[in-house]
């Protein structure tokens, strides 16, 4: 199957041709670890998780190398340490685990390699020294700066020119910079900040310091993926300056670097940028604790194409929940097929192979495969949905987070009570008690389903057990 991917570098969809036949490699910029991942952080994770799944399917799991870094040295982390008084390593270790836990709940597979920046200081320094030696970087006042003018294609990825940007005047001017656009490869650290012996310039170390932000990705990609690799991904806010700088560094160091550049669009919340000042900022964990299953978050994310802004809305959350519940119901009792014993149907594969058209894939599942429960289950699992855990928790997931473990029992007893009242009513023709119970349940966020001989109560995500106290 031909896979087509949109390459930011050429601004068009291209047929993906891996460097080495039958193998694929990709590098995705990971998080800076100082606090819980917000919902926006989840988007690239899920987008590239889908790409990873597609590539694994196409080339075999053993033939895909997926590197995603953790930035564990950064001024935001230092600031967090200073304000909390906690050791930096404690903060970064904790945040990394949070990140893995949260993304795991969204059904994201772990990359094959998850390097931490602090483990690659030596390669970064070597690269910086090499750049200085080749005349692309210079030392000044304890800093090492990259000489942007020395890379002729600077700005090509993001479609900017150095002169225009300087005219736009939104660049940090610092006395030690030869040119306002030059960016930091290395900067000095005071004693209270993390630091390492710096690059050697003119025979002696420039002094204790820490790397600038951009160099880590260039160094780690080179160490783990080599001179050239297939795909480099990240959010489109990274296109400039981060990725532009990565390219400049790597190219000037003589590396070929990435062939295909992929960028996901940003996430919004109810039509607006998610930001703390607007009060619409929340983390993945916030949502999970609020009773939104990870599957629902994943579904909503996959329902918008990755190159379009993704608007997280309450309505979408509800629709996703509803659709997933339908799928859960349809596939109840079925066992997923062994991955080796079923093949992905062409329409699904074609959708994903066309620049990751996940929305189309979901549409195919919902409109066509819903008539074939086994196929629905198998294909949904390929997309990372309908996992064992999610199916198991299908009826209780919302309850657990909302009201502790006892809620499902509570609903079971209420269902029995309602069923009893209904049997009486069928004989007496007086349905007032049944209607009263039903009304209370609906008001408390419970969906009431009565078939001819059965009563089922299903908690929705707005279920509020406290409203049912009077019925106990």
Pick the binder of RNA from 451, 469, 470, 472 (CB under 7 A). 451
Which residue of 14, 113, 130, 265 would you call a contact of RNA, by CB under 7 A? 265
Say how far apart CA 208 and CA 17 lie, in whole Å: 43
- Decide: is 319 part of the binding site for RNA (CB under 7 A): yes
In the bound state with RNA, the residue whose beta carbon lies nearer, of 109 and 450, is 450
Q: Which of 237, 392, 443, 464 binds RNA (CB under 7 A)?
A: 237
* Of residues 136 and 438, the one with the C-beta less far from RNA: 438
Exactly one of 27, 48, 66, 213 binds RNA (CB under 7 A); that residue is 213
Q: How far is the CB of 45 from RNA (least distance, A)?
A: 8
CB of 305 to RNA, least distance (A): 3
In the complex, minimum distance from the CB of residue 264 to RNA, in angstroms, rounded to a whole number: 6
Binding residue per annotation — 29?
Answer: yes
Residues 144-173 that bind RNA (CB under 7 A): 158-161, 164-165, 167-168, 170-172
- Out of 435, 443, 462, 464, the residue judged to bind RNA by CB under 7 A: 435
Site string for RNA, 106-145 (x = CB under 7 A): ----------------------------------------
Could you say whether residue 317 binds RNA (CB under 7 A)?
A: no
Among 315, 333, 338, 340, binds RNA (CB under 7 A): 315
Q: Which of 241, 293, 294, 465 binds RNA (CB under 7 A)?
A: 241
359 or 400: CB nearest RNA: 359
Span interacting with RNA, options 120-128, 336-344, 358-366, 392-400, rule CB under 7 A: 358-366
| Cβ closest to RNA, residue 303 vs residue 393 | 303
Q: Is 256 in the site for RNA (CB under 7 A)?
A: no
431 touches RNA by CB under 7 A: yes
CB environment 256-272: b (16+ within 10 A), e (fewer)? ebbbbbbbbbebbbeee
**Number of other CB atoms surrounding residue 322 within 10 Å:** 12
Encode the chain in three state secondary structure: CCCEEEECCCCEEEECCCCCCCCEEEEECCCECCCCCEHHHHHHHHHHHHHHHHHHHHHCHHHEEEEECEECCCHHHHHHHHHHCCCHHHHHHHHHHHHHHHHHHCCCCCCCECCEHHHHHHHHHHHHHHHHHCCCEEEECCEEEECHHHCCCCCCCCCCCHHHHHHHCCCCCCCCCCCCCCEEEEEECCCCCCCEECCEECCEECCEEEECCCHHHHHHHHHHHCCEEEEEEEEHHHHHHHHHHHHHHHHHCCCCEEEEEEEECCEEECCEECCCCCCCCCEHHHHHHCCCCHHHHHHHHHCCCCCCCEEECHHHHHHHHHHHHHHHHHCCCCCCCCHHHCCCCHHHHHHHHECCCHHHHHHHHHHCHHHCHHHHHHHHHHCCCCCHHHHHCCCCHHHHHHHCCCHHHHHHHHHHHHHHHHHHHHHHCCCHHHHHHHHHHHHCCEEEEEECCEEEEEECCCCCHHHHHHHC
- 273 lines the binding site for RNA (CB under 7 A): yes
- Asked whether position 342 contacts RNA by CB under 7 A, the answer is no
Is position 389 annotated in a ligand binding site? no
Of residues 18 through 47, those in contact with RNA by CB under 7 A are 29, 31-32, 38, 40-41, 43-44
Please give the radius of gyration of the chain, using alpha carbons only, rounded to the nearest integer. Answer: 27
Candidates 121-129, 185-193, 302-310, 408-416 — which segment interacts with RNA by CB under 7 A?
302-310
392 in contact with RNA (CB under 7 A): no
**N- to C-terminal Cα separation, the chain:** 58
CB of 188 to RNA, least distance (A): 17
Should residue 274 be labelled a site residue for RNA when binding is judged by CB under 7 A? yes
- When asked if residue 323 is in the footprint of RNA (CB under 7 A), the reply is yes
What are the angstrom distances between the C-alpha of 115 and each of 68, 71, 72, 220, 238? 7, 9, 10, 7, 19
Question: CB neighbours (10 Å) of residue 350?
Answer: 16
CA distances from 150 to 133, 136, 180, 251, 417 (A): 13, 6, 14, 11, 78
Q: Is 238 in the site for RNA (CB under 7 A)?
A: yes
Asked whether position 449 contacts RNA by CB under 7 A, the answer is yes
Question: Of residues 61-90, which lie at the interface with RNA (CB under 7 A)?
Answer: 75-76
Please state the closest distance from residue 429 (CB atom) to RNA, in A.
8
User: Is 217 marked as a binding-site residue?
Assistant: yes
| Residue 246 is assigned to a ligand binding site | yes
Identity of the residue, 206 or 421, whose beta carbon is nearer to RNA in the bound complex: 421
Least distance in angstroms from the C-beta of 23 to RNA: 26
Size, binding site for RNA by CB under 7 A: 77
134 vs 439, which CB is nearer to RNA? 439
Question: Does the annotation flag 319 for ligand binding?
Answer: no
Return binding residues. 29, 217, 242, 246, 276
């Amino acid at each position: 199957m031909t896979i087509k991917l949109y390459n930011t570098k050429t601004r068009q969809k291209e047929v993906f041709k891996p460097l080495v036949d039958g193998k694929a490699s990709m590098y995705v910029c990971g998080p800076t670890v100082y606090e819980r991942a917000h919902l926006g952080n989840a988007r690239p994770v899920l987008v590239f998780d889908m790409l990873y799944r597609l590539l694994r399917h196409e080339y075999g799991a053993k033939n895909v190398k997926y590197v995603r870094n953790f930035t564990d040295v950064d001024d935001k982390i230092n600031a967090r340490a200073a304000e909390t008084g906690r050791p930096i390593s404690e903060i970064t270790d904790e945040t990394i685990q949070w990140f893995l836990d949260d993304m795991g709940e969204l059904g994201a597979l772990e990359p094959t390699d998850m390097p931490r920046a602090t483990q690659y200081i030596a390669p970064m320094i070597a690269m910086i020294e090499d750049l200085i030696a080749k005349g692309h970087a210079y030392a000044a006042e304890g800093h090492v700066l990259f000489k942007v003018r020395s890379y002729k294609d600077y700005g090509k990825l993001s479609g900017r020119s150095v002169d225009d940007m300087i005219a736009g005047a939104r660049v940090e001017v610092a006395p030690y910079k030869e040119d306002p656009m030059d960016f930091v490869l290395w900067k000095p650290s005071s004693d209270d900040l993390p630091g390492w012996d710096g690059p050697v310039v003119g025979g002696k170390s420039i002094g204790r310091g820490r790397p600038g932000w951009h160099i880590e990705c260039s160094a780690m990609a080179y160490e783990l993926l080599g001179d050239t690799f297939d795909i480099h991904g990240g959010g489109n806010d990274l296109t400039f300056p981060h990725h532009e700088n990565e390219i400049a560094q790597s190219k000037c160091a003589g590396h070929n670097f990435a062939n295909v550049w992929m960028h996901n669009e940003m996430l919004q919340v109810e039509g607006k940028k998610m930001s703390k000042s607007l009060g619409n900022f929340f983390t993945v964990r916030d949502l999970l604790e609020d009773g939104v299953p990870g599957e629902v978050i994943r579904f909503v994310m996959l329902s918008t194409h990755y190159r379009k802004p993704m608007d997280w809305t309450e309505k979408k959350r509800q629709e996703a929940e509803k659709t997933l519940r339908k799928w859960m119901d349809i596939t109840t009792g079925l066992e997923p097929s062994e991955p080796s014993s079923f093949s992905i149907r062409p329409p699904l594969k074609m959708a994903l192979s066309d620049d990751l058209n996940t929305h189309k894939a979901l549409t195919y599942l919902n409109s066509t495969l819903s008539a074939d429960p086994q196929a629905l289950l198998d294909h949904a699992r390929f997309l990372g949905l309908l996992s064992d855990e999610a199916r198991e928790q299908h009826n209780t997931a919302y309850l657990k987070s909302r009201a502790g473990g006892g809620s499902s029992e509570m609903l079971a007893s209420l269902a029995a009570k309602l069923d009893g009242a209904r049997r009486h009513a069928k004989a007496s023709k007086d349905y007032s008690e049944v209607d009263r119970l039903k009304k209370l349940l609906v008001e408390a966020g419970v969906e009431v389903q009565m078939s001819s001989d059965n009563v089922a109560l299903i908690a929705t995500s707005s279920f509020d057990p406290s409203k049912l106290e009077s019925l106990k």
